[in-house]
């Protein structure tokens, strides 16, 4: 799949550049003996490990589906993100420990100006790389790539905070600032790890993505055709970069097979235009029932049995239900 290959190529660059940035940060620590810079270097170790884990997961996710994995291998990305989040949390805990130790047993710092310039350069590179990864991850529906990007962005914010602390230390001479900055960002890193773990578990457990569902429902309401009498039993699942959609589309009962298939084709075309070709759909067509006439506004219907009253607007709540909608449902909503 094109998007999977693109994700893999981006992750290769992330892994390679992370190694270079790790070396630069340890050089900065060598010159300064700053625990705040050590904080940055320890997180970069996680960047390198996570980069290669993400690289492997994207390699697995890019494999075509087979008889053992009929929906593809995309969920490998969720496992990768979970491991990365765990590593970030562990790194944050180690940082907190080291910072507290240095606060209790201060270490004389030196060459602070060199350290500021070195870690400042890594911050710029990390920000550019993280921004690109997050944008590409969202575009290609890749949680692993998005997690890598967020991790790099959090690393950038950490580095900027550390630079600010080092600048303050440089002009004031207060050694405790170094440990205080490390402690603050240690907590920030632990929280970042928690958020990534939470998101990956949601994906593994097929938890409903409310934002994604809301976007889908809004699109369907805007592009609704008169032969789309009703939509229900909708399911939206992410398998790495692949989005999988199931739903039941109710059409006029007198449409022949080709006409019903044409309506399904229009539905698929509309959704893929918005969500990309990586989306796959399985749509079951249902025949309309007489009790749905009051909510069907099809013009010149030759078999209408009841007068049209009002169309039911699809919502995240009612489109998920496994039953055809009827006018009574509209009354319940209004009540």
Model pLDDT for residues 101-152, shown as the tens digit of each residue? 877 877 777 788 888 899 889 889 888 888 888 888 777 766 667 777 877 7
Percent of the chain with pLDDT over 70: 80
Residues of the chain with CATH 1.20.1510.10: 2-204
**What is the CATH architecture assignment of 2-204?**
Up-down Bundle (1.20)
**Cβ contacts of 55-60, under 8 Å, gap ≥ 24:** 55/8, 55/11, 55/12, 55/14, 55/15, 56/80, 57/144, 58/4, 58/7, 58/8, 58/11, 58/142, 58/144, 58/145, 59/8
Q: Output the pLDDT for position 205.
A: 52
Task: Report whether pLDDT(262) > 90.
Answer: yes
> How many CA atoms lie within 13 Å of 23's alpha carbon, on the beta-carbon side?
4
**What is the CATH architecture assignment of 210-334?**
2-Layer Sandwich (3.30)
Q: Output the pLDDT for position 322.
A: 83
Residues of the chain with CATH 3.30.70.1350: 210-334
Task: Report whether pLDDT(40) > 60.
Answer: yes
Of the listed ranges 5-14, 75-84, 178-187, 295-304, the one predicted with least confidence: 75-84
Q: What is the mean pLDDT of residues 284-295?
A: 90
> What b/e sequence results for 8-32 when a residue is b if at least 16 CB atoms lie within 10 Å of its CB, and e otherwise?
bebbbebbebbeebbebbbbbbebb
Does pTM surpass 0.75? no
Task: Report whether pLDDT(252) > 90.
Answer: yes
Model pLDDT for residues 159-199, shown as the tens digit of each residue? 887 888 888 888 887 878 878 887 887 788 788 788 878 76
Per the model's pLDDT, the better-predicted residue between 219 and 91 turns out to be 219
């Amino acid at each position: 799949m094109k998007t999977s290959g693109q994700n893999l190529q981006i992750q290769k660059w992330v892994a390679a550049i992370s190694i270079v940035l790790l070396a630069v940060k340890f050089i900065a620590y060598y010159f300064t003996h700053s625990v705040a810079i050590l904080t940055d270097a320890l997180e970069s170790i996680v960047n390198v490990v996570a980069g290669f884990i993400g690289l492997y997961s994207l390699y697995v996710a890019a494999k075509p589906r087979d008889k053992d994995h009929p929906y593809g291998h995309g969920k490998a990305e969720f496992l990768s993100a979970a491991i990365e989040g765990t590593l970030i949390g562990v790194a944050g805990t180690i940082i907190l420990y080291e910072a507290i130790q240095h606060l209790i047993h201060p270490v004389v710092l030196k060459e602070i100006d060199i350290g500021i310039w070195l870690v400042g350069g890594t911050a710029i590179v990390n920000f550019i790389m993280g921004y690109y990864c997050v944008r590409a991850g969202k575009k290609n529906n890749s949680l692993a790539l998005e997690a890598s990007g967020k991790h790099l962005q959090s690393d950038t914010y950490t580095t900027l905070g550390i630079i600010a602390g080092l600048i303050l230390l440089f002009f004031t001479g207060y050694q405790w600032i170094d440990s205080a900055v490390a402690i603050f960002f240690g907590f920030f890193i632990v929280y970042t790890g928690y958020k990534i773990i939470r998101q990956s578990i949601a994906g593994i457990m097929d938890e409903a993505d409310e934002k994604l569902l809301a976007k889908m429902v809004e699109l369907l309401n805007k592009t609704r055709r008169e032969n789309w009498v009703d939509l229900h039993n909708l399911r939206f699942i992410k398998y790495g970069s692949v989005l999988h959609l199931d739903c039941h589309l109710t059409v006029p009962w007198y449409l022949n097979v080709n006409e019903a298939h044409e309506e399904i084709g229009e539905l698929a075309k509309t959704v893929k235009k918005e969500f990309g070709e990586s989306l796959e759909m399985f749509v079951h067509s249902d025949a309309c029932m007489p009790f749905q006439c009051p909510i069907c506004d099809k013009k010149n219907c030759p078999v209408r049995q009841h007068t049209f009253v009002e169309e039911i607007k699809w919502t995240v709540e009612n489109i998920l239900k496994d039953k055809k909608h009827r006018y009574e449902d509209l009354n319940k909503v209004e009540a």
